[in-house]
Chain A
């Protein structure tokens, strides 16, 4: 059943992506940026999915510390790892956009820097897990670290409002936002596809983590016999 749900989600995400590619390609060019503005249709959904993932990781980490249920630890690691890949998409597409519009691959701007720190923090989370052998200790330390790492997420989100920055100002959920409705629709559809893809990958990783735990148990049983 779970397998069918995952395959269904992946198929639906693929169909939406392919269908939406046409919708994005027929949109008029942005006046100042030209065609490159279309990168936003991947850049923003990837960031939104990654940020939502880090919020889920935070909740799962808190729940693990409260309930000591390893399901929440598995969920936290699954959602964080997939989020890291999506945040990498966000950083790389942003860098390519910056090369065309700003003329440089990277600028030590508050938004870019905080997003990079966020990526490094969550990569550190996965490295920390590799370094600890004992399952309960690993899950507890990782949960505390994940809660600490999440403190960077609001900084990433609000950085363009709090500080003077060269990153474009928000065009959604803002008084000054000027995103036309058809562009917003195309972005919303891509966002849905990206979230479906993210959820499907998380479900696969969650199942893998649970199987890995089972493997560890079997290994201990085999040694005991």
Chain B
């Protein structure tokens, strides 16, 4: 038999259904889903925490500015 001709045919037949490869693929997708889930949960919580930190800085700056403004206005008055 001509081996170089038969090899691609065998590969093609194997590729049609390979239960082991299918199972590995399923487990891989399963694990990837878990990692994406954990990453998504932490990204949302960390983004929200970062938003709170940014707001905290903004509020502190605003507070300082207003306190100075009131003090200046009282001195002038």
Q: Which residues of A contact B (CB under 8 A)?
A: 33-36, 38-39, 42-43, 46, 82, 85-86, 88-89, 92-93, 96-97, 99-100, 197, 201, 204-205, 208, 211-212, 214-215, 218-219, 221-222, 225
Contacts and interface: CB of A to CB of B under 8 A. Distances in A.
Contacts of B25: none
13 contacts: A33-B30, A35-B31, A38-B34, A42-B37, A82-B48, A88-B44, A89-B40, A89-B44, A92-B44, A204-B52, A222-B73, A225-B70, A225-B74
Task: Indicate the member of B44, B55, B74 with the most A CB atoms within 10 Å.
Answer: B44
B37 A93 contact: yes
Contacts of A85: 44-45, 48
B5 interface: no
A218 B66 contact: yes
A205 B74 CA distance: 31
Interface of B: 26-27, 29-31, 33-34, 36-38, 40-41, 44-45, 48-49, 52, 55-56, 59, 62-63, 66-67, 69-70, 73-74, 77
Contact of A35 (B30, B41, B55, B62): B30
A208 B52 contact: yes
Given A201-B52, A205-B52, A208-B52, A100 B29 contact: yes
A34 B44 contact: no
Given A92-B44, A204-B56, A221-B70, 20 more contacts: A34-B26, A34-B30, A35-B30, A35-B34, A36-B33, A39-B33, A39-B34, A42-B38, A42-B41, A46-B41, A85-B48, A96-B36, A100-B33, A197-B45, A205-B52, A214-B63, A218-B66, A219-B66, A225-B74, A225-B77
B37 A201 contact: no
A217 to B, nearest CB: 9
Contacts of B31: 35-36
Binding site of A, secondary structure by majority: helix, strand, loop or mixed?
helix
Q: Which of A33, A43, A225 has the most CB of B within 10 A?
A: A225
Given A215-B59, A215-B66, A219-B66, A225 B37 contact: no
Contacts of A97: 33, 37
Contacts of B67: 218
A207 to B, nearest CB: 9
B59 A208 contact: yes
A34 B41 contact: no
Contacts of A214: 63
B21 to A, nearest CB: 17
A64 to B, nearest CB: 22
B37 A39 contact: yes
